[in-house]
Amino acid sequence: MNEENRGKYHIVTYGCQMNLHESEKMAGILSRKGYVETQNKEEADVILFNTCCIRENAENHAFGNIGELKKLKRSRPGLIIAVGGCMTQEKGKAELIRKRFPFVDIVFGNLNLEALGDLIDERIRSKKKIVSLRDEAPGAIEYDPPLRNSYPNAWVNIMYGCNNFCSYCIVPYVRGRERSRKPEHILEECRALVQEGYREITLLGQNVNSYGSDGTTEMRFPELLERVANIEGDFRVRFMTSHPKDFTKELVDVIARNRKICRLVHLPVQSGSDRILQAMNRRYTAGEYLAKVAMLKGVVPDAELTSDIIVGFPGEAEEDFEATLALVEKVGFASAFTFIYSPRTGTKAAEMPDRVEEEVQKRRIMRLIEAVNALTREKSAAYVGKEAEILCEDYDPKRGLYFGRDEYGRMGYFRSEENEVGKFVTLQIESANGVSLFGHAVRSR
């Protein structure tokens, strides 16, 4: 139940889907306190930054945006500014935020996000600035309902944290060890979402393939995924992220026999060089990765893959980078997120010698992006003249077009006189432009 009308809130989110979903949880907390959302910072009573620390530029971005609020806070002292998310969990960062931005009212972490409502009350009551962090990750706590704003897609956490300690990655430090939610809680949430009319469910975890290995349940990810897919209703299911070392035939078999599971697997490879993969502590070789891809395509011939790839990891020589390019070509990714390596304090890689020069990193990422884009364009062009089923997500008033993605994540645009949001629409594709398809609707459901 809402309390009294408290005014308006505005949330700025950085980073991944996990963070976007956590912002939905924070929005749920704020709305139960009696706040309503505004897109306009100037009129907000609470401004919340949900930060990300996975790469330095995400941090810099947040720092810049928080800094800009100094003036607004001066003109409206009653405004509450809260900073949460992964960055505040980094060693020393909360203190840094307090020092650099003394006008920030509340600093809290992603490990205690459920405390947000109480922290706001405390701030209003006591007028004191608050830093509230939790060092130890809680168990897989059941959060209060999120206020979702991603209809017709819904994100569902199946687990939190990560045990993998890839040498470049800060996630295990800021999100703690793996903990899985109980299957009955996950299934209950998914059933309710389907009943409410959500038409796509994305199961979220840093490494969904190790679901349950913390001892929470006997159930493993393939069975959980199949149970979600078996919920009655017309919807589709995605999951992310899968670590290649834990990607199994059992999971692939589940994908093969459940048409509701999207035939797109996000399988981050990070590098195509065995030497670099070892230094990254990824625990597979390029050959093993390719064998998993072949296994997937052997069982699900129409499967496609997307990936995360890092260039310029310490010690990456030209031939290592060439090996990455070769792997990208061999797999033929539908698309990929590409990153320049960013040293994160506290990780093993940050201590490694042989940093790659920025100029070299930039040159490599440009070549990689070009290679990935060429694959994406090629795959888009192959759609022309064929049908594609998209889940309509929204309407773009500027272009006068509805749009949504097919199961492979390709964005399709079309015109319609009716509201198509939330429907599966089959498009006859007339043209393709890089990542986007254009067509006309032939049927919908």
Q: What is the contact surface with ligand 5AD in residues (CB under 6 A)?
A: 54-55, 168-169, 268, 270, 308, 310, 339, 341-342, 344
Assess contact for 341 and 301: CB atoms under 8 A.
no
343 binds ligand SF4 (CB under 6 A): no
182 vs 245 by CB, closer to ligand 5AD: 245
Annotate each residue in 205-234 with x if it binds ligand SF4 (CB under 6 A) or - if it does not, as one string.
-xx---------------------------
**How buried is 391 (Cβ within 10 angstroms: 0-12 exposed, 13-18 middle, 19+ buried)?**
buried
Q: What's the CA gap between 397 and 414, in Å, rounded?
A: 12
Q: Which residues contact 218 (CB under 8 A, 6 or more apart)?
A: 212
Smallest separation (angstroms) from ligand 5AD to the CB of 124: 36
Residue type, 421: V
Smallest separation (angstroms) from ligand 5AD to the CB of 130: 29
Q: What's the CA gap between 414 and 431, in Å, rounded?
A: 11
27 vs 162 by CB, closer to ligand SF4: 162
Smallest separation (angstroms) from ligand 5AD to the CB of 311: 9
50 vs 380 by CB, closer to ligand 5AD: 50
H or E stretch covering 25: helix 17-32
Smallest separation (angstroms) from ligand 5AD to the CB of 284: 14
- Alpha-carbon distances of 299 from 259, 289, 294, 308, rounded to whole Å: 13, 16, 9, 23
Residue type, 145: P
Q: What's the CA gap between 180 and 158, in Å, rounded?
A: 6
- Binding-site partner at residue 172 among ligand 5AD, ligand SF4, none, CB < 5 to 8 Å by type: ligand SF4
Q: What's the token pair of residue 435?
A: 């990542």
Smallest separation (angstroms) from ligand SF4 to the CB of 228: 22
- Binding-site partner at residue 310 among ligand SF4, ligand 5AD, none, CB < 5 to 8 Å by type: ligand 5AD
26 vs 349 by CB, closer to ligand 5AD: 349
Query: Where does 168-257 have alpha helices with state H?
Result: 171-175, 183-196, 221-229, 249-257
- Binding-site partner at residue 164 among ligand SF4, ligand 5AD, none, CB < 5 to 8 Å by type: ligand SF4
Smallest separation (angstroms) from ligand 5AD to the CB of 152: 25
Smallest separation (angstroms) from ligand 5AD to the CB of 312: 9
The three-state secondary structure class of 81 is strand
| Phi, psi angle pair for 186, to nearest 5° | -65, -45
9 vs 168 by CB, closer to ligand 5AD: 168
- Binding-site partner at residue 286 among ligand 5AD, ligand SF4, none, CB < 5 to 8 Å by type: none
Length of the chain counted residue by residue? 445
150 vs 345 by CB, closer to ligand 5AD: 345
- Binding-site partner at residue 165 among ligand SF4, ligand 5AD, none, CB < 5 to 8 Å by type: ligand SF4
List of E strands, 14-151: 35-37, 46-51, 80-85, 106-108, 130-132
Smallest separation (angstroms) from ligand SF4 to the CB of 308: 8
168 vs 284 by CB, closer to ligand 5AD: 168
Q: What's the CA gap between 424 and 244, in Å, rounded?
A: 31
17 vs 31 by CB, closer to ligand 5AD: 17
Chain CA centroid to CA 343, Å: 21
- Alpha-carbon distances of 192 from 163, 220, 260, 289, 334, rounded to whole Å: 30, 22, 17, 36, 32
Annotate each residue in 242-281 with x if it binds ligand SF4 (CB under 6 A) or - if it does not, as one string.
-x--------------------------------------
Interface with ligand SF4 in residues 158-187 (CB under 6 A): 162, 164-166, 169, 171-172
- Binding-site partner at residue 206 among ligand 5AD, ligand SF4, none, CB < 5 to 8 Å by type: ligand SF4
Strand order across the beta sheet in which 46-51 lies: 35-37, 7-13, 46-51, 80-85, 106-108, 130-132
186 vs 309 by CB, closer to ligand SF4: 309
245 vs 275 by CB, closer to ligand SF4: 245
Residues that bind ligand SF4 (CB under 6 A): 162, 164-166, 169, 171-172, 206-207, 243
